[in-house]
Structure formats: C-alpha cells, structure tokens
C-alpha cells in the first residue's frame, strides 16, 4: 500500500476502512496475493485472513472501530492462534491450538487482520533463521544473506511489504537484530509490559513479545495496542546520552558509523554525550546462555517423547538442551550466572544515574551471507549489544541508522530506563 505522506500505514488503513473507501477484504486479499507470490519463505502458515477481514467489514459497517481496523498483521509462529499449528519452527509440534494467545486476542479486539505466522529459528534459538525446520528465510534486501533471527520471518515480511506490521519475540536480540538486518524498526519492550501468555517460552525470565514495523510511528501504535498503555509525549531535547565503553572493542568500520550518525542526529537537538561503563557486558553472553539454556532444557522436557525429541529436534536445540542440562547438574554455574545478572542490572542502574538513554549499534555487522563462516566472531556474537539490556529487562528500540560498506543497513539500538518506551520512540523518529 502506498502511504502517501503519512508514515503510518496502520492509521491510514483505519481511515480507509472506516470511511468505506476500501474494505478490509480488498486490502487483505492484496497482501495474501503478495505473500503467495513471494519466494522468500517468510511464512510458515497463512491464516483465515479473508474470513477475518469480512467479519471486520461487517462489524465496521455497524459502527465497530479499533486502532488497528483492517491492518494486516503477522505473528511469529511461536504464538498460539486458535485452529492453527504453532510450530515454533520445529518439526516436533503438530497439534492444533485450542486457544488464541493473549496478544492475538488484543490484535483481534483492535480490528487487525492476522494474515499468517512467520518463520523463525527453531524454538527461537538462533540469529539467522537457518535453524528453522521449515527452511531459510531470504533477506529481501539481498537474497544471498540471512534475515537475522530468531524473528527473521517477521522482519523480512515487514521489509518486503507482506504485512504492515509483525510480532516477534526477543530474549537476547531476536527482534532487534533481524530488524537491523532487514532495515526495519523493532522494539524489545520493558520486560513484562506485554502479556506473553500463550506463547511458547524459550526462557520465560527474558522472553518479551514486541512489534516490528516499517516506521517508528507504527511501532508506537502497535506497542500501545499490545501493552494497553498510552504513550505520553516525551521531551527529548537536551537529554544526556550514554555510550558504553566496553562495547568499543566490538566496533567495526560499519558500526563506528552508527555511533557517528547518532552523535550528529542527537547533537542537533542539544543532547550531550557521556561515557558509561558496563564492566560485566562481556559476560552477558555466557550469563544469557547459562540462565536461558537451563530454562529451555526444562521447558523442552515437556514437548514430545524422548524418542521424538531425538528424531525431530534440530542440532542447535539439542546443543542448548545439553548446555542447559550441564548447568542444571552444576548448580554453582547457575548461581554464578545469577550473580553476574545482578551485577549487570546494577551496572545499568549506575549508568542511568549519568544518562537518560544509552545508544549502541543494534548488531556488530550487516546481515551475513548464508555461506559465511559460522565460527566468525561477529556471527557468534551477533547479540553482543542486545543481550545486556535483555538481561536487565530494559526496553530497547532498533531503528535503521546507516548503510554499511556493502550498502546494507545497520540499526541503532536505543536503550531506555524501564517503561521509557515513549522516550525511545521520540528519539527513534529523529533517525528516520
Ligand atoms: N540469537 C539469540 C539466541 O540464539 C537470541 C534469541 C532470542 O532472542 N530468541 O539465543
């Protein structure tokens, strides 16, 4: 759909459907046509979108309205939708859902058409979508490259206009990193601010559902609907912006440009930059794995039989179950990881005594090629900037910021204090 001057296709759609200028059915059928024609493998399944759209049109004629009236939205395939099989990108899950998850209920109540369920790394474990049992997703900006992960199908679907907005889930970077790779906007909200009931857990202490959209305005609207919170306007002129000293040794030519651009954009509204320190940031990866993988190992015990798990789970999932079982057998490791987690939380608290937001690249590189060396440190550590805020439960927004040398996008990650999403949205708009 052509947005004209309005950079909020969701609002525009609502107006069109409300006025009767277009029907939800017409709009949904256009998107379904594009999904069917796409060869990028963004979707694992397509839903009863035409029936949903007709229902919305009927209701709209008798006065129903909602913030997402007629909007075409996709959900990651770890979120339950009644009558569909939620696969989590795995061959092991084959039963149909008997209930909608909470976010689906909210999207439906707001008048959205839920068009389909997007491809993902198996059980949300991965950074490339390559661990999906349903095959790779291609990055629409360069089809020799990965879309990122684990919400790669959602980010790629938004980037190529197969839906207006999509939901992802982010435990250590799975919304922000694919958003960065696909050149779209992704929010990992404050932990707990959107109800995740009815979603399959990777690591329930860190999992957070959030929206992926083309623009910041659309992202804000989606967040309002999903969280039920109204975003108050934030004053962002003259804020103090923190740059993390310990992130610097990860910077490359490409990511240095993110910091440079952030300085240009934010200085122009009178922001001041200060250095902040997260001494435990480099331990975030190990902490994330130790705490996350134990929860994953426990969760996966309840899925299928032992034989089915042997036959049907992919290698990445099995690897993490092994790590998780190892940590469960050595409780001192988990104890240590919990101590590091608390240190990370208090280091962020100290940093936020010195600044209002923290800025970093969203990922250490642009989207990598399917053929790239999987032991490459930038690939292994592709969540290096996103994991620390996840461990601390803080909100973080990725907005497209610069093009790397290859011409592909890299996002800027804006990390805020708890529940300061409104500040992130306000700052994020400056990068558009
Ligand atoms: N890429 C990270 C991982 O593989 C993040 C996953 C996520 O956030 N779901 O664990």
Q: For a pocket test of ligand 1, which of 122, 123, 124 has the largest count of ligand atoms closer than 8 A to its C-beta?
A: 124
In the predicted model, what is the mean pLDDT of residues 337-354?
98
Nearest-CA residue for ligand 1 atom 10 is 125
| DSSP notation for 153-219 | HHHHHHHTTSSSEEEEEESSSTTHHHHHHHT-EEEEPSTTSS--TTBPPS-TTT-EEEEEESSHHHH
Summarize the chain as % helix, strand, coil (round to 5): 40, 15, 45
Predicted local confidence at residue 4, as pLDDT: 45
Quick one: which H or E segment has residue 242? strand 240-244
At 23, the pLDDT band (50, 70, 90 cuts) reads very high
**Is residue 1 pLDDT above 80, yes or no?**
no
What tens digit of pLDDT does each residue of 216-237 get?
999 999 999 999 999 999 999 9
Going by DSSP bridges, is the β-strand pair 72-76/165-170 parallel, antiparallel, or unpaired? parallel
185 CA to middle of ligand 1, Å? 18
What tens digit of pLDDT does each residue of 25-69 get?
999 999 999 999 999 999 999 999 999 999 999 999 999 999 999
263 catalytically annotated: no
Q: Are 236 and 422 in contact (CB under 8 A)?
A: no
Predicted local confidence at residue 316, as pLDDT: 95
| DSSP notation for 252-314 | -HHHHHHHHHHHHHHHTTT-EEEEE--TTGGGHHHHHHHHHHHHHHHHHTTSS-HHHHHHHS-
What tens digit of pLDDT does each residue of 201-211 get?
999 999 999 99
341 CA to middle of ligand 1, Å? 17
In the predicted model, what is the mean pLDDT of residues 157-162?
98
**Is residue 396 pLDDT above 80, yes or no?**
yes
Around Cβ 285, how many Cβ atoms within 10 Å?
Answer: 16
CA–CA gap between residue 170 and residue 186 (Å, rounded): 10
Predicted local confidence at residue 357, as pLDDT: 98
174 catalytically annotated: yes
Q: How many CA atoms lie within 13 A of 155 on its CB side?
A: 39
Please pick, among 150, 180, 203, 280, the residue that the annotation labels catalytic.
150
CA–CA gap between residue 19 and residue 57 (Å, rounded): 11
Quick one: which H or E segment has residue 380? helix 377-380
Q: Are 137 and 129 in contact (CB under 8 A)?
A: yes
Structure tokens at 188: 């990992």
197 catalytically annotated: no
In the predicted model, what is the mean pLDDT of residues 391-419?
98
Q: For a pocket test of ligand 1, which of 88, 149, 316, 364 has the largest count of ligand atoms closer than 8 A to its C-beta?
A: 149
CA–CA gap between residue 215 and residue 240 (Å, rounded): 24
What tens digit of pLDDT does each residue of 276-292 get?
999 999 999 999 999 99
Domain boundaries, the chain: 6-227
What tens digit of pLDDT does each residue of 81-97 get?
999 999 999 999 999 99
Please pick, among 151, 154, 169, 174, the residue that the annotation labels catalytic.
174
**Is residue 164 pLDDT above 70, yes or no?**
yes
Structure tokens at 24: 């939800």
Around Cβ 253, how many Cβ atoms within 10 Å?
Answer: 8
Query: Which CATH code for domain 6-227?
Result: 3.90.1300.10
In the predicted model, what is the mean pLDDT of residues 228-250?
96
Predicted local confidence at residue 7, as pLDDT: 80
Ligand 1 pocket (Cβ < 6 Å) reads 124-127, 150, 170-174, 202, 383
CA–CA gap between residue 188 and residue 41 (Å, rounded): 24
**What number does the ligand 1 atom closest to the CA of 206 have?**
8
Predicted local confidence at residue 5, as pLDDT: 54
Nearest Cα to Cα of residue 357 among 199, 236, 254, 265: 236
């Amino acid at each position: 759909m052509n947005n004209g001057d309005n950079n909020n296709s969701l609002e525009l759609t609502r107006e069109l459907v409300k006025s009767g200028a277009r029907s939800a059915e017409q709009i949904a059928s256009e998107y379904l046509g594009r999904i069917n024609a796409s060869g990028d493998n963004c979707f694992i399944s397509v839903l009863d979108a035409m029936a949903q759209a007709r229902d919305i049109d009927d209701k709209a004629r008798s006065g129903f309205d909602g913030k997402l009236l007629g909007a075409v939205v996709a959900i990651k395939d770890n979120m339950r939708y009644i009558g569909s099989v939620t696969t989590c990108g795995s061959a092991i899950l084959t039963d149909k859902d008997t209930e909608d998850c909470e976010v689906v209920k909210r999207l439906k109540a707001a008048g959205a058409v839920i068009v389909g369920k997007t491809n993902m790394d198996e059980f949300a474990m991965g950074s490339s979508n390559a661990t999906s049992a349903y095959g790779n997703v291609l990055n629409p900006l360069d089809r020799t490259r990965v879309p990122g992960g684990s919400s790669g199908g959602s980010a790629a679907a938004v980037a190529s206009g197969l839906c207006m907005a999509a939901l992802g889930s982010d435990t250590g970077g799975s919304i922000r990193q694919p958003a960065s790779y696909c050149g779209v906007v992704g929010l990992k909200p404050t932990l707990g601010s959107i109800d995740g009931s009815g979603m399959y857990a990777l690591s329930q202490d860190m999992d957070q559902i959030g929206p992926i959209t083309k623009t910041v305005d659309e992202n804000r609207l989606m967040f309002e609907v999903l969280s039920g919170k109204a975003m108050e306007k934030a004053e962002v002129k003259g804020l103090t912006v923190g740059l993390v000293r310990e992130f610097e040794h990860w910077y490359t030519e490409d990511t240095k440009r993110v910091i440079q651009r952030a300085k240009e954009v934010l200085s122009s509204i009178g922001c001041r930059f200060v250095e902040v320190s997260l001494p435990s940031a480099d331990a975030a990866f190990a902490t994330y794995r130790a705490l996350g993988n134990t929860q994953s190992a426990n969760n996966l015990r309840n899925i299928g039989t032992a034989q089915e798990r042997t036959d049907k789970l992919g290698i990445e999932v099995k690897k993490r179950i092994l790590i998780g079982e190892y940590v469960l057998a050595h409780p001192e490791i988990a104890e240590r990881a919990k101590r590091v987690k608390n240190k990370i939380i208090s280091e962020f608290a100290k940093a936020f005594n010195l600044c209002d937001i923290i800025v970093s690249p969203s990922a250490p590189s642009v989207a990598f090629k399917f053929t790239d060396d999987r032991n490459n440190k930038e690939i292994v550590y592709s969540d290096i900037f996103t994991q620390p805020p996840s461990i601390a439960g803080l909100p973080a927004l990725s907005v497209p910021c610069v093009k790397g040398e290859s011409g592909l996008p890299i996002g800027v990650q804006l990390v805020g204090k708890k529940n300061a999403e409104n500040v992130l949205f306000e700052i994020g708009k400056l990068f558009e």
